[in-house]
Structure 1
Amino acid sequence: MAKNKTQQYTSDDVREFIDVFADTDQKRADSLILLQILSDISGYTPKLWGTSIIGFGNYHYKYASGHEGDAPILGFSPRKSAFSLYIYSDTEKSRQLLADLGKFKMGKACIYVKKLSDINLSVLKELFLESIAHINFHYQIL
């Protein structure tokens, strides 16, 4: 079975990563806002996952196919083209909330947002809480 590419790394400093990885002042400022929101909502300290994901907490998943691994409960990456928000959004409540989120694009496993001013942060917080509830119900929190 293939090993997961995204592994938790705890030795690198998250704020230093943001200073280097985020390519604009706006992206750095938005990253610090996301750090605060996600820390407050999750109760977890941010950790680096892989080479570019800031994750909060972690859980173990196992699919029917046998594929399994660990992943952050919530996370984001300040990528060049847009923020990648790693959030579970396939519940009925999440789908309803997405209608009021603002300007974003959906990926298979994340939501893409160019800047935080494009979205409703109150709705984003509700999406984060829904994601935490879903993961707590379905998976083993580590």
Structure 2
Amino acid sequence: MAYTQKTLPTDASVADFVAAIADDRRRDEAARLVPILERASSEAARMWGVSMVGFGEYHYRHPGGQRGFWFLTGFAPRKAAMTIYVMPGFEGWPDLMGRLGRFTTSKSCLYLKRLTDVDEEVLEELVRRSVDLMRERYAVRE
């Protein structure tokens, strides 16, 4: 059975999505993140599915043959934390991670309880470096 990617980019308005976020703080944080991630990625914001904002796109192929595409970076305003997607992970930037502020991570997710808990300039540099690395590793759709 062939793999069918479920979360895809849409033509929905990022501004409308951000404006509709019910929680005031998450809405304000999302509005602040859009220009930060646009600068860091040099890509325009685009909705992916109904709840993720992505920037740019790369194509991947897993060893088992599964192929797909995903955003270079992005975010999702979740109830528990703002999730920022740093696709190559966090091991390559101990200098930035040590200066970033308060956060938790999983493989490719940076979780922020509050955007004010981190240094936004360090966050932008982290995203810039991760996007640059993704562009080196993968075919990027221009």
Amino acid at match of 1:18: V
Partners of 1:18 and 1:31 within 8 A in 2: yes
TM-score (norm 2): 0.90
TM-score (norm 1): 0.90
| Structure 1 gap segments, 5+ residues each | none
Alignment-derived partner of residue 82 in structure 1: 81
Question: Counterparts of 2:96 and 2:54 in 1: how far apart (Å)?
Answer: 22
Question: Counterparts of 1:44 and 1:126 in 2: how far apart (Å)?
Answer: 15
Amino acid at match of 2:60: Y
Amino acid at match of 1:136: R
Alignment-derived partner of residue 19 in structure 1: 19
Question: Counterparts of 1:90 and 1:105 in 2: how far apart (Å)?
Answer: 12
Paired residues, what number? 140
Identity %: 32
Alignment-derived partner of residue 105 in structure 1: 104
Pair 1:25–1:19, CA change in 2 (3 A): same
Question: Counterparts of 1:89 and 1:136 in 2: how far apart (Å)?
Answer: 11
Q: Output one character per residue of 1:61-119: Cα deviation in whole Å (capped at 9) or x when no partner.
A: 11222122110111001111111101135365424322221111112321111111011
Amino acid at match of 1:103: R
Pair 1:8–1:30, CA change in 2 (3 A): same
Alignment-derived partner of residue 5 in structure 1: 6
Question: Counterparts of 1:76 and 1:44 in 2: how far apart (Å)?
Answer: 14
> Where has structure 1 moved over 3 Å in runs of 4 or more?
89-93
Pair 1:110–1:92, CA change in 2 (3 A): closer
| Structure 2 gap segments, 5+ residues each | none
Amino acid at match of 2:3: A
Question: Counterparts of 1:78 and 1:70 in 2: how far apart (Å)?
Answer: 21
Instruction: Give yes or no for the alignment of 1:126 onto 2:125.
Output: yes
Partners of 1:93 and 1:130 within 8 A in 2: no
